[in-house]
Amino acid sequence: MNEKKEQLKKELKEAIANITEINALNEVKVEYLGKKGKITELSNTLREMSIEEKKEFGKLLNELKEESTTLIEEKRKQIEEKILNKKLESEKIDISLPAVTIPVGSPNILERMIEEVEEVFMSMGYDVVDGPEIEEDKYNFELLNIPKGHPARDAQDTFYIKEEEILLRSQTSPVQVRTMLSKKGEEAVRMICPGKTYRRDDDDATHSHQFMQIEGLLVDKEISLSDLKGTFDIIAKKLFGEDCKTRFRPSYYQFTEPSVETDVSCFKCKGEGCSLCKNTGWITVSGAGMVHPNVLRNCGYDPTIWTGFAFGFGAERLAMLKYGIQDVRTFYNTDLRELKAFDRKEMESND
Ligand code: DAH
């Protein structure tokens, strides 16, 4: 038996020597150690042996089984290691290679301007409110003290959807009305409303049939024009720099009394006079005023108790001034090169 054992072991070693795949190794395993394998079948001869012989033979047979199993399992490990090494080699990552740069998008400059204004007002306790763009005549005009047929309507070239009833809002002021009505004359109001507005005038590069306004309203007790002046002063400094000066000029709006145009000192020439400010040293940035008693009353607020101020910025105008943009249409085209140029301008203005 000893001889046979050594011979089978030798045979097995030769059989597995050149194997490189697990499947082939499994086949050899079956050939030697499977149910009908060469080694397993040796135990059939046990039956005819004496007890002494059985002892001797059985011992050698077990050794043969164990040693063969070890040989095969060692081979299995070698093959697996080789496969793994091959895989690692082929999946090697060179971390010294330059990275692929992914182009990063950025918000439109107008959107950023609006967010900037929102942040300033929110820091002063104002809510940011939304309203419908398809509006009823009563919210866009009537409750704002602009009755049907009033000449003040002419200034806002309105797109009517249903004559004298439904329109595309020509200003964000109807959101003032809706907000006041929702509070039923019982609470103070402090809100801004940025949003799209529509007018038919599009006859030059600084006007478009669609533009963004940022409306603001504050209603409380004992609010005066000086509160408006103080608020405007803070906003202007935050948006255009600490050295920015402000002034009011008398104006007219149906929904405010008194009404003003609010100017900031030209941030390009610092008031000396240049093309941006048309040599006046001042730039107009919004209309504003004290909320007309009729508007307060129309919206459920008793004007003998409540007073307030309102204002309306043109968002494009703010961004055009701040970033030196000449043509209002620039905001609405999708030329990535121009959008990227805005990014650079903003970075410069933040320096
Ligand atoms: N709605 C005005 C316009 O479109 C702007 C404006 C002026 C809004 C004065 C106001 C305000 O709230 O008080 O021309």
Strand bridging mode 189-198 / 127-128: parallel
The Cα 119–Cα 164 span in angstroms is: 36
Which pLDDT score is estimated for 295? 98
The Cα 233–Cα 269 span in angstroms is: 19
Which pLDDT score is estimated for 284? 93
**What are the per-10-residue average pLDDT scores of the chain (351 residues)?**
83 90 92 90 84 88 91 93 91 87 81 93 96 97 93 85 92 97 95 95 72 96 96 93 94 96 89 86 95 98 98 91 79 76 63 53
173 C-alpha to ligand 1 centroid (Å): 7
List the structure tokens of 146.
Answer: 């602009």
Cβ atoms within 10 A of the Cβ of 227, count? 16
Decide: 179 in ligand 1 pocket, CB within 6 A: no
The Cα 153–Cα 175 span in angstroms is: 18
Q: Which H or E run contains 189?
A: strand 189-198
280 C-alpha to ligand 1 centroid (Å): 23
* Cβ contacts of 182 within 8 Å, gap of 6 or more: none
The Cα 299–Cα 175 span in angstroms is: 11
List the structure tokens of 341.
Answer: 């140029």
By the 10 Å C-beta count (0-12 exposed, 13-18 middle, 19+ buried), 286 is classed as buried
The Cα 254–Cα 145 span in angstroms is: 6
Decide: 158 in ligand 1 pocket, CB within 6 A: no
Decide: 287 in ligand 1 pocket, CB within 6 A: yes
Which pLDDT score is estimated for 246? 95
The Cα 236–Cα 245 span in angstroms is: 8
Decide: 215 in ligand 1 pocket, CB within 6 A: yes
By the 10 Å C-beta count (0-12 exposed, 13-18 middle, 19+ buried), 61 is classed as buried
Measured by CA distance, the residue closest to atom 12 of ligand 1 is 311
Question: In which residue are the tokens 């940035």 written?
Answer: 285
Decide: 288 in ligand 1 pocket, CB within 6 A: yes
Strand bridging mode 127-128 / 160-162: unpaired
Closest to 133 in 3D by CA, of 209, 60, 241: 209
Cis peptide leading into residue 103 (ω within 30°)? no
Ligand 1, residues 173, 190, 207: which to mutate, most atoms within 8 A of Cβ?
A: 173
142 C-alpha to ligand 1 centroid (Å): 14
Closest to 344 in 3D by CA, of 316, 325, 317, 318: 325
Beta bridge partners of 219: 189, 308
**Gyration radius (Cα) of the chain, Å:** 43
Which pLDDT score is estimated for 347? 58
Measured by CA distance, the residue closest to atom 9 of ligand 1 is 288
* Cβ contacts of 13 within 8 Å, gap of 6 or more: 71
The Cα 287–Cα 197 span in angstroms is: 15
Name the strands in the sheet holding 166-168, side by side, starting at the edge strand that comes first in the sequence: 134-136, 166-168, 160-162
